[in-house]
Amino acid sequence: MAESKSKVLIIGGTGYIGTYLVRASIKLGHPTFILVRSPTPSDPAKANLIKSFQDSGVTVLKGDVDDRESLVAALRQVDVVISSVNGEAVASQVKIVEAAKETGTIKRFIPSEFGNEVDRLEIDFKVLEGVFQTKSSVRREIKKSGIPYTFVISGGFAGYFVSNLANDNVSSPPRDKVTIWGDGTTKAILNTEEDIATYTIKSIDDPRVANKFLHIRPKENTLSHGEVVALWEKKIDHNLEKTVVSKEELRKIIEETPFPANILHAIRYSIFVKGDQTNFQLDDNDVEATELYPDVHYTTVSTYLDQFV
């Protein structure tokens, strides 16, 4: 008889990556729960999203990370907790850890990571210190708690860095001019949000991933900015006019751009200039998603770009 799948609570399930996590959890057959401040929010788009989740079988729980009683009550109903809270709320995840310790029944906690490996990079800009250092401190609290965990290192979101070739003020790949960050040769890891969510949900009942870093590193999606642009040029059979922003120029842009607009530039520097996603080797604490789950047919950057041709 097949084992039952874990009940999953997704905190931040109406947010950007959270929406993908909820859909992946449903698709993979997990009893899925989300925690919301209000099941009927005033924002029509959010209300419609929650309604669509409910229609798909998702259980909506009213509560808040800052409301200990409602948080503990929610955690008592599930086996696994996935947090996908945004950067401003990363520190609040310590409250989830404390609530999980109180219940004593959570068999896996996946905090809001879904980006760079923050403990194996040097922070170059003060604007990134807050979120990156807070993620590290949350990791320490999770490890101290004794609650089994998985830290998901996803690389860059395709929706942020491929759909617009990492350029500003465009919603699809440009067809005339493109900005290249750095010299265009530094390797980055770029995955679709759907694939990131699928690998995350696949891991929650997998003992091989307990207390490990799950890295999503498809070889076909480990590309430089220049290679992504070249893929696009080949698809449209046209070379783009390129403006190259050097390492020094990008540093100056970051220093002169006001918060919060400078955050994206600082992340571009981290990914496309320094190579923070690819400049370290995996060790015994790391597992790689495409090796663990060869049955997942992930979307390559090349295939992702086809939708825009």
SS3 content of the chain, % helix, strand, coil (to 5): 45, 15, 40
Beta bridge partners of 214: 152, 287
CA distance 82 to 18: 9
**Residue 135 among the catalytic residues:** yes
Token pair of 242 as six digits: 């390129």
DSSP string, 69-121: HHHHHHHTT-SEEEE---GGGGGGHHHHHHHHHHH----EEE-S--S--GGGS
> In 136-254, at which residue ranges do the beta strands (DSSP E only) sit?
150-153, 156-157, 177-181, 187-191, 212-215, 222-224, 241-245
Catalytic-role residue among 101, 135, 187, 202: 135
Helix (H) or strand (E) holding 59: strand 59-62
CA distance 224 to 262: 22
Helix (H) or strand (E) holding 35: strand 32-36
User: Could you report how far apart the first and last alpha carbons of the chain are, in Å?
Assistant: 47
Distance of CA 109 to the CA centre of its chain: 15
Active site residues: 135
